[in-house]
Chain A
Amino acid sequence: MKGKKKPGDFLASLTGLAITLLIAFGLVVALILILSKTPGKMIYYFFLGPFTNTYYLGNMLNAAVPLVFSGLGMAVAFKSSVFNLGGEGQVYAGGLAVTLVCLGLPSANGFLGGLLAVMAALLLGGGIAGLSGFFKVKWNVDEMISSFLISSIVLLVVNYFITGPLDDPGNNMLASLPLAHQYNLMKLFSPSKLNLSALFAIAASALTFLFMSRSHIGYEMRMCGLNREFSRYGGIKVSRYLVLPMIIGGALHGLGGGLMVLGTYQVLYKGFSFGMGWNGIAVALIARNNPLGVVPAALLFAYLDAGAKAAMLNGDITFEIASIAQSIIFFFITAQILSDLARKTRRVK
């Protein structure tokens, strides 16, 4: 990826992706054939289940929304060569921030209160992640480890709020009190859970793309990502771009978590966002850290989950088959050999 990009690189990485998907889907089919008593039906539901009705389809699209936000957050950090392993905590904290604001203002105007809640999610997510950037600049503490540790603490603290002060005694689930009705985001695809936050996700992807590729700050961030020493000689304040990508990434994670509460759940469930941070890393890498690629990458992930869910509801396959398929994609997605191979074969032609 160094130097000038050739048009062939894009095609080669697509070929690599196609090979990876073939391996992953091949393994899914093999597992279904081994494990299921009705393999034909299971394969049908795994691959086509998400498209059989609007309910499944809408839920699949909705499941991609938080992945878009965490994928964008990770892409911004990776582009700047900053590693944020605290996505899990940042998403969860965003959910908490929204819940706290909305429960604190039970009768506020839906739009203004919601806006305030979203701002709180941005601030909290960004603040938590920014802390790791600050530690890195101030004491040279590895941001990768510290963001993971802080996130682990945040998960536990949010759990405390859900099971402690915010607990809904009338609800058997581990969840907070429900948010007031005026805060519910508009549904787009009833009866599925798809809501207005999907449009925000697309907007966020476009804005992040513009910010990274067209703005001055975005340019300096990318420069620091390519070569920090060189950027320092070029007069860029390098330490600023250790903290800023963390803050932006954390804010995007927090936003994703907050919109999940506002749009999908209207209540803060214990563990509602678990996995979003990790999967965000994978989504960003499938998209090769390109903000515009994050949307299709998130859809791919959501599709695998939705397929596994549809298969599980209609037969004897466990949902975990999705995480196996996803892990196979992880294993091969960054394999340079695959895309190199594609490049070489074309050159021979």
Chain B
Amino acid sequence: MRNSQFAIPFLHSAIEIMTPFLLAAIGGLFTELSGMLNIALEGLMLAGAFFCVTFAATTGNLFLGILLGILCTMLLSLLFGMTTIYLKANVFITGLATNLFASGFTVMLAFQLFGTKGVIQFPNIPRLPVLMVPDSLQRIPFVGDILFGHNVIVYLSWLIVAIATVVIYRTPFGMRLRGTGMNRQTIVSLGLSPGRYQLVGMLISGFTCALAGSMLTIQLAAFVPEISAGRGWIALVAIYLGNRTPAGILVASFIFGLSESFSNYAQGTIRIPSDFILAFPYLITIVAMILYSVWRQSRRGT
């Protein structure tokens, strides 16, 4: 029994922590499959975090705030996509530009609007509603305690993963998107424009990253500069670790959720310097990537 007392809050928080990774990675999957390296997930998430909480605080309406925040973030991803696709700029550099722009612009706007470059608190912001489930579901031992009692964005992220899976593998749009990444010429010969699919991929990543960011700030009821704190980069890694499939990304995000949840737990109890514990998720990722490619190589060998 003592085990589950530790395991339940541990896994429960892992599911909560994995959500921003999962959302950003699923959006990033669309750009990745269309043949674009999207390193701007980090900046898009940061922009989403700022705009969503600011609009939610000014409108007093959570839904409207997040919606407006998402729109602003999608504008930024549009700038990213347009310069990359139509001006034929290097996607890597425009991605860096998006990150740099987001971190400079959010701080500058925060300074103009709230007069500080530090933490901005929004004490009156409405809280993210927790999804209500029937009592019988909640009472399933172990599973019920872990899977339920999260805020709506957590469940929305699962829904988005399901929708993404269908869209990517079962719709003409998804096929053409993947076709763009595999061989642009095929798409051109069909009389379609590959750039359009890539741009839509960028916009989707802007949408999900904004949602991921909104969860960070609205739960905290505050905006902290650089609040995305490398999560967008981890999401990018999750795409590769998940072998560029939605299901794989789900698993990879859960691993990151687990390792960060473990870091939080260990910081309070184990006497290891906190910097080392914070490094733990990155270490796990490297080890996982190496193991994965060793496994793939050995499978190819036989």
Q: Which residues does A use to contact B, with CB under 8 Å?
A: 35, 83, 135, 139-142, 145-146, 148-150, 152-153, 156-157, 159-160, 163-164, 278, 281-282, 285, 318, 320-324, 326-338
Do B94 and A330 have beta carbons less than 8 Å apart?
Answer: yes
Given contacts A150-B286, A320-B105, 14 further A-B contacts (CB under 8 A): A35-B112, A139-B297, A142-B289, A148-B237, A150-B282, A160-B273, A278-B96, A282-B96, A322-B104, A328-B101, A330-B97, A330-B100, A334-B90, A335-B87
Count A-B pairs with CB separation below 8 Å: 128
Provide the residues of chain A in CB contact with B279, threshold 8 Å. Answer: 152-153, 156-157
Q: Does B230 reach chain A (CB closer than 8 Å)?
A: yes
Among B93, B94, B103, B107, which residue has its beta carbon within 8 angstroms of that of A318? B107
Q: A148-B233, A282-B96, A330-B100 are in contact. Are A324 and B105 (CB under 8 A)?
A: yes
Question: Secondary structure of the B side of the interface?
Answer: helix
Do B297 and A335 have beta carbons less than 8 Å apart?
Answer: no
Do A164 and B273 have beta carbons less than 8 Å apart?
Answer: yes
Among A318, A330, A336, which residue has its beta carbon within 8 angstroms of that of B96? A330
B252 to chain A, nearest CB (A): 12
Q: A328-B97, A331-B79, A331-B89 are in contact. Are A321 and B104 (CB under 8 A)?
A: yes
Do B93 and A281 have beta carbons less than 8 Å apart?
Answer: yes
Interface string of B260-302 (1 = CB under 8 A from A): 0000000000000101101100110110011001100100000
Provide the residues of chain A in CB contact with B101, threshold 8 Å. Answer: 323-324, 327-328, 331
Question: Secondary structure of the A side of the interface?
Answer: helix
Among A35, A159, A323, which residue has its beta carbon within 8 angstroms of that of B103? A323
CA of A20 to CA of B174 in the docked complex: distance in angstroms?
35
Do B97 and A156 have beta carbons less than 8 Å apart?
Answer: no
Q: Which residues does B use to contact A, with CB under 8 Å?
A: 79, 83, 86-90, 92-94, 96-101, 103-105, 107-108, 111-112, 117, 230, 233, 236-237, 240, 273, 275-276, 278-279, 282-283, 285-286, 289-290, 293-294, 297
CA of A321 to CA of B107 in the docked complex: distance in angstroms?
10
Provide the residues of chain A in CB contact with B97, threshold 8 Å. Answer: 327-331
Among A149, A160, A164, which residue has its beta carbon within 8 angstroms of that of B285? A149
Provide the residues of chain B in CB contact with A83, threshold 8 Å. Answer: 92
CA of A146 to CA of B288 in the docked complex: distance in angstroms?
11
Provide the residues of chain A in CB contact with B92, threshold 8 Å. Answer: 83, 281
Provide the residues of chain B in CB contact with A285, threshold 8 Å. Answer: 90, 93
Q: A278-B100, A320-B108 are in contact. Are A337 and B286 (CB under 8 A)?
A: no
Q: A327-B101, A335-B88 are in contact. Are A145 and B93 (CB under 8 A)?
A: no
Q: A285-B93, A335-B89 are in contact. Are A157 and B275 (CB under 8 A)?
A: yes
Using CB atoms, name the residue of chain B closest to A333: B93
Do A156 and B289 have beta carbons less than 8 Å apart?
Answer: no
Provide the residues of chain A in CB contact with B111, threshold 8 Å. Answer: 318, 320
Provide the residues of chain A in CB contact with B236, threshold 8 Å. Answer: 145
* Interface hub of A139, A140, A281 (most chain B Cβ within 10 A): A139
CA of A139 to CA of B236 in the docked complex: distance in angstroms?
20
B180 to chain A, nearest CB (A): 19
A323 to chain B, nearest CB (A): 3
Provide the residues of chain B in CB contact with A163, threshold 8 Å. Answer: 275
Q: A334-B89, A334-B93 are in contact. Are A327 and B289 (CB under 8 A)?
A: no
Q: A139-B290, A149-B285 are in contact. Are A332 and B87 (CB under 8 A)?
A: yes
Provide the residues of chain A in CB contact with B237, threshold 8 Å. Answer: 145, 148-149
Provide the residues of chain B in CB contact with A278, threshold 8 Å. Answer: 96, 99-100
CA of A100 to CA of B279 in the docked complex: distance in angstroms?
21
A284 to chain B, nearest CB (A): 10
A265 to chain B, nearest CB (A): 21
A28 to chain B, nearest CB (A): 12
Provide the residues of chain A in CB contact with B86, threshold 8 Å. Answer: 337
Do B276 and A327 have beta carbons less than 8 Å apart?
Answer: no
CA of A318 to CA of B294 in the docked complex: distance in angstroms?
49
